[in-house]
Structure 1
Amino acid sequence: MTSLDDLPIRDDLRGKSPYGAPQQAVPVALNVNENTHPIPEAVAHDIVARVAAAILGLNRYPDREFTELRTALAGYLGHGLAPEQIWAANGSNEVLQHVLQAFGGPGRAALGFAPTYSMYSLLASGTGTAWIGAPRDADYELSPETAVSAVREHDPDVVLLCAPNNPTGTPLSLETIEAVADAANGIVVVDEAYHEFADEGTVSALSLLPGRPRLLVSRTMSKAFAFAGARVGYLAGDPAAIDALRLVRLPYHLSALTQAAALGALAHSGQMLAMVDEIRAQRERITTELARMGFRPYRSGSNFVLFGGVDDPHAVFAALLERGILIREIGLPGSLRVTAGTEAETTAFLEAIAVFAPVHAG
C-alpha cells in the first residue's frame, strides 16, 4: 500500500501530522469546546428559511465580497467598525490561513506562545512559514514583559496571540496585547475565538485597532453562537490589510448558503448568545468543584477548563470515555481539558471525575 513517504510531497511536510480531535458518538461530548446548547428553534426556522431562499439562486455565484454579511458583522462587533474593515471565511482557521498566506510564507516566521492553539503551527507549516513557539510565564500566563521580549528577540513577520488562550483558557490582558502590537514590526493577530465567554467587562482588542494598521482581531461563530457546523470565522482590521487577504483567497470562497445562514444567526444574536451566561456559570462550577476535589484548575476566560493534578491523564480519559463522557487529552503533563456544557453534562462529568480526585484517592 502506498504511504505518504512514497509520494513527492514537500520536504517540510514530511513527518507532520494533520490536526485531529476524537470524533465519537457519546452521550456527553465535552472535548472540542463546542457550545453544547442547541440553536433556539425559532432562530433555526428563520435560518432555514434564509438558506432555502438562497438555494433558489444557486445557479449563480455568491456575492464575492459578501457585502451584506460584512455589514452585519461590523454591526455586531461595534467599535465604530465599517464593513470594509471586515473579512470572513470558512471558519477562523481559514481566516488565519489567509493571514499567513498573505504575510507569512517561505523565508518568513510566525511566533506564538506555547502551549497555544495547535492549528497555528500547522497553518504555518502549510504555508511554508517557520514557526516559533516562545515560552509563557508560570501557570500559562503571559505578561507584557515576557511577550515583548520574545517579539524583540525573534522579530517575527506574524505574531499570533490567543486571547483567551487555547488550550489553557488563560485570559490575556489588554496591556500585553497593546505592548506586543506596539513592539512588533510585523502583523499581530489577536485570536478572540472565545471572547464572548470572558468575564463581564473584559475589553476586546478591537478597542486597540485605531491607528494600528498591522493589528488584526479574529473571531468565530463556532463557539458562543453555537454555529460550529456552519464554519464561519471573521476578522477585523485596517482596510489595507483586508485588501491583502483578497490576494490569497479563492474566488467566491464563502458560499451563498454559508452567507445566508450566518446572516440569520446574526439577526438573532441576542437569542443566540443567551446561553453564554449559563456556560460561564458551568465553567465556574467546574473550576470550584475540581479545586474542591484536589485537582488544579487553571484560570479560564473561555468555555472550557484545563486542570492539573491528574496522575494518569490517559487512564482517566479512557475511563471517562467508557462511561460515555468524552473530554480532551492535550499532551500537557498531568492535565486534561473539559468543555463547560449544559448543567446536566457538567453534572455527569463532575460525578465521573470525582472517582479520580486526589482528595478522594487520599
Structure 2
Amino acid sequence: MGVVVSLEDGKQRDASVKPLVDKTRGDMERVNQLILSKAGSDVAMIPEVANHLISSGGKRLRPMLTLASATMFGYSGDFHIKLATSVEFMHTATLLHDDVVDESDLRRGRSTARMIWGNQASVLVGDFLLGQAFKMMVEVGSLEALDVLSTAAAVIAEGEVLQLSVAKNMETTEDDYLSVIRAKTAALFSAACEVGPIIAETSKAERSALRSYGINLGLAFQLIDDVLDYGGSANDLGKNVGDDFREGKITLPVVLAYRRGSEAERAFWREAIEGGKNDDAALEKALGLITKYGSLKDTMARAEHYASIARDALAPLPDSDEKAALLEVIAFCLNRAN
C-alpha cells in the first residue's frame, strides 16, 4: 500500500507547543515525579503496565493545559500539580481501556499494554490509575474541581459506550460522531482547562472562557487526528496510517465520503467497515473516495471552525505568556495536518 492523501496544499504555520512546554517546564517536572510516585504499587504488574504507557513519549498536553490555566490567573500554590497529575492519569486510563475496546495492537509506535500483559491487566491498571486520580482530587479539597473532573470521567465513559453503539454502523451521522468525540476527547480537554481557574478562584466568566477553550480545542484536536489517519504519516500519528479504517472505526472523513457517494460506493463502505473487508486494496479505494469527495478538506474546515471558537473564548482575557502559549497550541493542533 503506497498511496497517502497529500495535505501539503494547506497553509503552513510555524506553530508548536514549545511556548507551553517552556512556560510549564518547572511544574511539569513536579508532575512527572508525582506520576512516577503514584503509579507505584506493591503489585509489580501495576507499575510495569502503567509505566509502559506513561513513558511512551506522549506530549502530556492535557496536564500542561491544567498548569497554564492555573498560573495564568496568578495561582501560586501546589494543588495544580495534583490536578494536572489526576488529568494525566485519567487520560492514561482511557488509553488503556480504549486499546482493549478497539483491539489495538500499537500505541505511539509501540505494542499496546494489552498485547504484552493482556486485556484484563490493561483494564484493571486503568482502573487503578483512575482510583489514584480521584484520591489526588480529594487531597486538593476543592469540591468544584472534583465535580468538574468526576463529571468528565462519567462523560468519557458515556462516550465510550456511545461509540460502541455506533461502531461499524455506516448510518452514523455527523451529529452522532460529534457527540462521540465531544464526550470521549473534548470533555477531558475542557475539564483540564477549567480546574485551573477554579483553584485560582477566578470569576465565572474566566472559568467559562477556559472551559469553552478546552472543549473546542479538544474537538479540533480529534478532527485533526481523523484527518491524519488518512492523510498523515506514522510519525504524526504514533500508529500506522489507515489503522482507523482497518479497525472499522467510523470517523468524520468516512461519514462524509459515505454520505456523498453513489449507491455502489456506499456498498463498498458497508463491506469495508461493517463487513471487515479492509485489506490494503480496500484502503486504497477508501483513500480515493475520500479524496474524490473532499472529505479531508471538509474535516479540516470543521476543525478550523472549532479552533476559531477556542481562540474567541480566550479573546476577552488579559494578555499573558500563558494566554499566548494556549493560543499557540491551537495553531499547533491545526498545523499537524498541514
TM-score if structure 1 supplies the norm length? 0.28
Decide which structure has greater strand share. Answer: 1
TM-score if structure 2 supplies the norm length? 0.30
| Larger radius of gyration between Structure 1 and Structure 2 | 1
